[in-house]
Amino acid sequence: MKRILAILLALSIILLAGCGAKKSGMANDDFKAQMLEKGYEIVDATDKVNPNTIGAVSIAIKDGYQIEYYVAHSVDKAQTVYDLNVSSFKEVDGEENNSQKGNYSSYEKTSADTFYTISKVDNTFIYSVAPVEYKDEIKQVIKDLGY
């Protein structure tokens, strides 16, 4: 009986740990509000992208770099754009970091002078290519946003 309880307890722990793997994307308006609070200037760039793929784009600008936020029309379309950007980043020499868990994917590349990052949750993704001196700041902002 104790053995069965131990097995059930272990299975419960595994299942509960797996439940925490799912992240939640945010609405474009939430991205804009949070970035305004952090002192960024916000630009709507929705009209600059393919309307069949992307529904909204906001760019947060500060101190010589920008962080871009995209809402795709579907998870598949977001994945396609994510994959294209990762392929492009991989062409650059540098140290890379890749993470995938549940509905979340993230890729970073650091070259001698540039930091590249893209993180995707469901049909949303956040993207930045910036001078490497802003790497830590950008990573913290993206973490604060839940990406």
In DSSP terms, 126 is beta-bridged to: 69, 119
DSSP E strand boundaries for 89-133: 95-101, 104-110, 114-121, 124-131
Query: Which tokens hold the place of 128?
Result: 């930045």
Q: What is the pLDDT of residues 69-119, one digit of tens each?
A: 999 999 999 999 999 999 999 999 999 999 999 999 999 999 999 999 999
Q: Is the pLDDT of residue 18 over 70?
A: no
Q: Is the pLDDT of residue 1 over 90?
A: no
C-alpha to C-alpha distance for 109 and 68, rounded to whole angstroms: 16
Global pTM value: 0.83
- Domain covering 23-144 in this structure, CATH number: 3.40.1000
C-alpha to C-alpha distance for 79 and 69, rounded to whole angstroms: 14
Torsion from C-alpha of 52, 54, 56, 61, nearest 10 degrees: -140
Q: Mean pLDDT across the chain, nearest whole number?
A: 90
The terminus-to-terminus CA distance of the chain in angstroms comes to 43
Closest C-alpha among 136, 137, 142, 140 to residue 104:
142
C-alpha to C-alpha distance for 147 and 110, rounded to whole angstroms: 18
